[in-house]
Chains A and B, each alone.
Chain A
């Protein structure tokens, strides 16, 4: 290394117009030590940094150029202290979250955006995976926490409940079923069900529906919630998704929630953290922010 941080500090202060004696006083160094440090830097770099100016010395043009670039490096170094303090306070750093598709696509983005607006020095990486893929990735490490519907966890994790999300059946506005005031299990037998059935999690839900007596003429298996909504909006079949995934369309009236007499399933989304890693202050901050935004028990 040609220049130590101390060398650069001396150059920067000389460039600010301080004398060697003043720089020495500031750095608690003898003036002779300042000269020695600079001469050593000159020898290492092969560059003349100082030149006589009457009875004083001043920086050469090369010394001034190095002082300016060195000052930028020193500012970065000082900035690290502030960054470390922000890391400790949970105001800076990065959080990696993995979420299943519904919370990842419909619940978290808006809340994470608000968190980022409040914390400009924070980076958030939000990975969205199907439930089948999510767990393996989460357990392989690297994520601060996962956000998923509650399932039977088979590993040592800490679970914090976030909010309930009803599972809804819906159709396009204007279709025959959309006008019905009440529906029972038997009313679906002639209709197609559109959902994300290849995901093992949704497989469990449809089995539960079957156990409750719901029968459908046919099932159309799509991989994404958006595809399910588009298909149903086109007038094809009955959609099955979490309420949070269709909240906007239900509010706009392009989709209509079916008034099923038998209360359908309700899922609770949770924050899941592995017990073998400590939550960083920032991850704790974001988790608390999510909890406040998605108060458990608040109907979606």
Chain B
């Protein structure tokens, strides 16, 4: 019968037993194994005999003056090597986690940064850190915070407005609110426009989302009036409807950069001061971020700084790793 006590995790084997068996299977002498493991040779023999007692298997036999593995010992040593490899993998993982070479970063983002800002940055990060894994969850603001907790995310990339009080955040970038139209539409030919000039236009946007309601309220304070409002939630729907000539679109610049560059839509030259949406990187204050998460945050900041308008209205607040 196996006597389970004496081994690791309630088993018949200790990791030391396994290393001795694996060492013998690889042809090392007991003296060599002892030197590696800081054990006296008699201690090795004693451990092997104890292991034999617990398992009921004859693992070693004397051949001349040496102890060698029996056929059963060789079979067990092969299995021991596989087990040790699994434990060695834990050690390697720890080293990689510490060096920020491996691990998982969990990010949740609202739809605009999640769809238009983060994918390119995440792809570049994964090229830089090939053994990293990124989970990017994209959620509308309405149920984003519930998912942030449920998924135990490291960060959220979200509009700064409406951020839960218990989180800490740092500003990332300002994303300008842009009015745009199809290149062939009459309004696209105008060289100068005020917000008030849009009062006869059909305005297409994501008006029902909470932060868009706030944006529109702010625009209205600056004189914006829409002739008619058409609400479509996904930005792609807004862009398609505008490209089809159905009206003037309103979105954040990051979501229509590609179309503006290609000329499939044109930015309307609104002379009134522009309105920016501030996006931030938020997290729970007590979370101990992994080295990889910190590395990703630094990477994100650098990429944002290189490609986006830096946040103007907020002093940056660096993370202090806990």
Q: Enumerate A61-99 residues with CB–CB distance to B below 8 Å.
A: 61-62, 64-66, 69-70, 72-74, 76-81, 83-85, 87-88, 92-94, 96
A45 to B93, CA, bound (A): 10
Q: Is A147 an interface residue (CB 8 A)?
A: no
Known: A76-B82, A81-B12, A280-B70. A66 touches B90 (CB 8 A): yes
A72 to B9, CA, bound (A): 13
Verify B70–A278 contact, CB threshold 8 A.
yes
Known: A3-B94, A61-B290, A278-B58. A73 touches B8 (CB 8 A): no
Verify B87–A73 contact, CB threshold 8 A.
yes
Interface string of B62-90 (1 = CB under 8 A from A): 00000000111011101110110011011
Verify B70–A45 contact, CB threshold 8 A.
no
A52 to B285, CA, bound (A): 11
- Interface size class on chain A is 35 or more
Which of A45, A62, A80, A85 meets B83, CB within 8 Å? A80
Verify A69–B98 contact, CB threshold 8 A.
no
Which B residues are in CB contact (< 8 Å) with A267?
A: none
Describe A's contact surface by its main secondary structure.
helix
Verify B290–A81 contact, CB threshold 8 A.
no
- Chain A residue nearest to B98 in the complex (CB): A46
Within the complex, the shortest CB–CB distance from A239 to chain B, in Å, comes to 38
Q: Is A283 an interface residue (CB 8 A)?
A: yes
Verify A61–B152 contact, CB threshold 8 A.
yes
Interchain residue pairs A-B with the least CB separation, the first 5: A5-B8, A73-B86, A93-B75, A76-B83, A76-B86
Verify A77–B290 contact, CB threshold 8 A.
no
Q: Is A33 an interface residue (CB 8 A)?
A: no
Describe B's contact surface by its main secondary structure.
helix
Known: A61-B106, A80-B80, A81-B4. A88 touches B86 (CB 8 A): no
- Chain B residue nearest to A45 in the complex (CB): B94
Q: Is A160 an interface residue (CB 8 A)?
A: no
Which A residues are in CB contact (< 8 Å) with B13?
A: 77, 80-81, 84
Count residues of B near A (Cβ-Cβ below 8 Å).
48
Interface string of A263-298 (1 = CB under 8 A from B): 000000000000001101001000000000000000
Which A residues are in CB contact (< 8 Å) with B56?
A: 84, 88
A93 to B80, CA, bound (A): 12
Q: Enumerate A1-29 residues with CB–CB distance to B below 8 Å.
A: 1-6, 8-9
Q: Enumerate A140-167 residues with CB–CB distance to B below 8 Å.
A: 144
Verify B79–A80 contact, CB threshold 8 A.
yes
Question: Footprint of A on B, CB under 8 Å?
Answer: 2, 4, 7-13, 15, 18, 55-58, 70-72, 74-76, 78-80, 82-83, 86-87, 89-91, 93-94, 97-98, 103-104, 106, 152, 154, 286-291, 293, 322
Known: A3-B91, A8-B90, A60-B290. A77 touches B55 (CB 8 A): no
Number of cross-chain contacts by CB at 8 Å: 142
A60 to B286, CA, bound (A): 10
Q: Is A224 an interface residue (CB 8 A)?
A: no
Which B residues are in CB contact (< 8 Å) with A81?
A: 2, 4, 7, 11-13
Q: Can you list 24 contacts pairing A with B, beta carbon distance less than 8 Å?
A: A2-B90, A3-B87, A3-B94, A6-B8, A46-B98, A60-B290, A61-B103, A61-B288, A62-B97, A66-B94, A69-B89, A69-B93, A73-B83, A73-B90, A74-B9, A77-B13, A78-B11, A79-B79, A80-B83, A81-B13, A88-B55, A93-B71, A144-B71, A277-B71
Which of B10, B75, B98 meets A92, CB within 8 Å? B75
Question: Footprint of B on A, CB under 8 Å?
Answer: 1-6, 8-9, 45-48, 51-53, 60-62, 64-66, 69-70, 72-74, 76-81, 83-85, 87-88, 92-94, 96, 144, 277-278, 280, 283
Verify A47–B9 contact, CB threshold 8 A.
no
A3 to B89, CA, bound (A): 11
A277 to B291, CA, bound (A): 55
Which B residues are in CB contact (< 8 Å) with A93?
A: 71-72, 75
Verify B76–A9 contact, CB threshold 8 A.
no
Most buried by A among B15, B71, B93: B71
Known: A1-B15, A280-B71. A65 touches B104 (CB 8 A): yes
Verify A51–B75 contact, CB threshold 8 A.
no
Verify A70–B11 contact, CB threshold 8 A.
no
Verify A72–B94 contact, CB threshold 8 A.
no
A278 to B13, CA, bound (A): 23
Verify A47–B94 contact, CB threshold 8 A.
yes
A296 to B141, CA, bound (A): 80
